[in-house]
Chains A and B, each alone.
Chain A
Amino acid sequence: MKPPSIRALLWQCTVLLRLASLIVPKAQRQEWYQEWYGEVWHWSHFLVESGRLNVQTKFELAQHCWGAFPDATWHRFNQEKVRRSVRSTQRSPSFCLVSIVSVLVFMFVASGFVPTIRTGFTPLPYYQPERVAVLSFPDHYVYHPDSALFLLVPHWSRQSKTATAMAAYSLRFAMVQTDEERSAVPGVLRSPDAFKIPSARVSPNFFEILGVKAAVGRVFRSGDQTECPDCLVLTDKVWRERFHRDPAIVGRRLWFSGTESTVIGVLPPSFSFLMPETAAWALPPSADDIADIGDHIGAVLRLGPGVSAAQAEQELRSRSSVALDHDTPKVAMMISRGQQAARIYLLFAVLALLGGLALFSTRLAATRVQRIKLSAREVTRWWAFLLAKVLLAFATCFVFALEVCGRISIVLTGSIQPLVGALSTWLFLVLSMAALSWCFYDQTRRCRVCLKRLSNEASVGTASYLLLDWWGTELVCSDGHGLLHVPEMQSSWLEEEQWIHLDDSWKPLFEQDHAVTR
């Protein structure tokens, strides 16, 4: 029968040890507890039997028992295991996908939840948008004089049987300044060019054809060219960002291209036309001055019911070809920016995919041949992972190209420049090509069975024999599923990459840990 003091002491120690043992992995728990309990049992008996049990020795024993926690933690999370686990996680296919998703989410958040893409995918803010078409001159649109167009379009409109109404537009940069900005000493704070913003001159019936009403004040109407020739309509963005939602914006005097103008209205936030960055809208100058240059000119058409763009184009082609110096007019239905972007980016994505396939076709073909021994499930998993990776990479490139280009333009120039659209499209192509190449490369460096990234890279052959390099490289799956032989050049050692499947007899070699780290 144990004396009460030992029983109490052992009970307290046992509670601590039992608690600590919960940290130890189940397989080692019993043995671990036995060792600790044996030590504590002997120690406490020694203290009692030798008459050395006092407050200080009890405290020392308690300290000893608390030491079981670090030991138990070592069993569960020893440094080497954690390091190995991190390394293993980094190589896993889920880590790869989660990393790409994280980058994507970061860009979503950093860009303010993709405003450009959201705007692009909203429907056109026009009345009956399926009847709105655009006449443009794609063969000759840069620096084209718009004088003729503003005179001819009303004439075409009257004669046209396909369009019920037409209005001309001319997109260009114009200087928009307040009185204070105009009177400030140029060059001290901002150069005069800093006040140049994308703007447009349009026929008075332009907004009427689109069926757009102003959010504040009014838009242009027929007769404004004589009654209000220097009127100005601003976009919601300019009103918000440059004029801080000035409630007295209607009637405010601004200098537009050196002419004193009056703001008559602000467009709704959802409004956008071909160049969504267009910030100020004015009427064409008087007939005497009409000899201006537009960066991008054309006309907007309200087609009759059931009339197609092709019919309108056919009708207009003969007249415009004579009038506009042999330019070929093109009529196209207005489609949302989302549709435009979808078409362009889909085309570029297909181009990138074809380019990537051309680059990696031999590798992928070789991979397929070597995968004969794999089950249908493993083959499906392999392709599904590649597909998921490619789609996520494309989505990331898409968001980056569309949102980042706009942001950079705003930071550098204060507005989204017209070049941004083309730039972002080409950036998307380049990025997606790079991303696709990486996806294919990464896929060929993964285990064909578990999809983990191969490790333990080893150079094979003799150094400096082949253009100062080795013959090739060998990689191995950390779970022992196989080896990958990669020749430095196709003729150096092997014809192409070779995957050697390792059977289960190799498993024990990969399960043992031979690392010596203290």
Chain B
Amino acid sequence: MEVAAKISHTSALILQTIGSGYVYGFDIMEITGLPSGTIYPALRRLERDALIHGNWENKRSAFGQERPRRRYYRLTREGKDTLSGALRRYPLLSQLAPAEKETKPVRK
């Protein structure tokens, strides 16, 4: 797939992390070990290219707990296809795969 062929190793790692259920910036940073200056621009690019979709946490649940809302990311269908292509392209990437997160945040 042409799109998958263009994806970088870092982007593939981020996609895989999101796919494993780590869905907000801080979580992704913790898992991948990449700095915030790398993670966030990469998230912007992936979202721009429709490989991930970001949406805000439900207002009610956040404000009910007196905390700001977080932005959660999830893989789109194209993102999933791209990730499977990237895993074929980078065989060692699967060894870096984080364990699936057990508790996923509440979506709106």
Contacts and interface: CB of A to CB of B under 8 A. Distances in A.
- A and B part of one assembly: yes
A42 B26 contact: yes
A39 B6 contact: no
B8 A71 contact: no
B41 A64 contact: no
A123 interface: no
Contacts, number: 73
Interface in B10-43: 11, 24-26, 29, 35-41
Contact of B67 (A35, A36, A41, A64): A41
Interface string A434-473: 0000000000000000000000000000000000000000
15 contacts: A34-B56, A34-B68, A37-B68, A38-B69, A39-B70, A41-B67, A42-B67, A42-B68, A64-B35, A70-B40, A71-B37, A71-B41, A74-B41, A518-B8, A518-B46
Contacts of A65: 36
Contacts of B40: 36, 67-68, 70-71, 74
A67 to B, nearest CB: 3
B77 interface: no
A43 interface: yes
A516 interface: yes
B25 A35 contact: yes
A43 B26 contact: yes
A56 interface: no
A69 interface: yes
Contacts of A121: none
Interface of B: 3, 6-8, 11, 24-26, 29, 35-41, 44-46, 48-49, 56, 67-71
Given A63-B35, A69-B37, A71-B36, A516 B68 contact: no
Nearest to B45: A518
Contact of B11 (A67, A513, A518): A518
A53 B26 CA distance: 16
Contacts of B48: 513
Given A42-B26, A516-B3, A74 B44 contact: yes
A435 B68 CA distance: 63
Nearest to B44: A74
A426 interface: no
B108 to A, nearest CB: 14
A518 B7 contact: yes
Contacts of A513: 48
Contacts of A39: 24-26, 70
Contacts of B49: 516, 518
A42 to B, nearest CB: 7
A39 B48 CA distance: 21
Interface in A40-71: 41-43, 45, 63-71
| 7 residue pairs, one from A and one from B, having the closest CB atoms | A67-B36, A67-B37, A70-B37, A71-B40, A74-B41, A38-B68, A35-B71
Contact of B41 (A45, A63, A66, A70): A70
A102 B87 CA distance: 51
B26 A516 contact: no
B56 to A, nearest CB: 8
Nearest to B26: A39
Given A38-B69, A66-B36, 17 more contacts: A34-B68, A34-B71, A38-B70, A39-B26, A42-B26, A42-B68, A64-B35, A67-B38, A71-B36, A71-B40, A71-B41, A71-B44, A74-B40, A78-B44, A516-B6, A518-B8, A518-B11
